Structure 1
């Protein structure tokens, strides 16, 4: 059964590449590349948030966001080997998505106002004082460490699912398909053209923010 649409899968893997690129470009002091990577991440975040309301069933926040209690109950069953009947994100997985999106939004947002006490400044630094920019730059650095910890937790959960529960979370995010019981209702998939329009709007908004504000 098809459970993940192409736009959601492309968002996921492009984001992985861009986060790695952002980290490497900082370590190597390739700040022009770091800025471009940040703009691309911000574009993807705007797209994903919009897709969370307008996209396919499994991409929508209303489909996978459940109560924190449901997430805790699921975590309590992590040690059990059970049949995989989950369509889309689980309760705990849904909250991890929200946490990662929030941390990435903080990262991209603070980067717009940040500076490195050198030649690199975020495009919106001119709207705040140097002291405020320095404070946001500090948050930018601290938040990235928190983001790395959250990514590590996410990878650990994927490994636990693979080893303990024998559920593959990676393959469906590559192929878009998953083997499920025959009676499972198929999720509705949004048209890819809608995703393209949303992405173009997001990209235009970020381009204006970066070059015209």
Structure 2
């Protein structure tokens, strides 16, 4: 399993992030000989200007997924985590790229051992950082901040139609996960956030 994170390399001021152009660039990059590296380059270039991405996608106001592309071979969405939101340990069954344009995302990396799921590494992603996860990666995610985190997530397959797994954080019992499970999780998180904020 490989999990690598690098910081975006500059970019300076420029035009507002164009979501349609970004998707088109990712589609073309995905046709390259090394699609992961090529798409990662497109993502890194985009989030190297986090302010432009924020202006183009809008400021996160709720936990959720803004889907830019959903296809059998490539899924792209902007994910928003509420303040102090936690995601259970889960797998993807496909390679994944994460580029942060607002806030921060803390990852714990897990693997299946003889005694069940065990943590073996951690990584913090800040604005402009990009991470690559291999198809067999298992990770849990936390937004440790008192503000929203926003990231562009790209997957090498149909994220919403693929049956995946997640693990209970206390018992480490494995449970099924898919698009419906993820949507329900975000709905519960928004309810929690509304209660905390007194809305």
Q: TM-score, normalised by structure 1?
A: 0.26
Larger radius of gyration: 1
More helix by share: 1
Q: Which has the higher contact order (CA 8 A, sep 6+)?
A: 1
Q: TM-score, normalised by structure 2?
A: 0.27
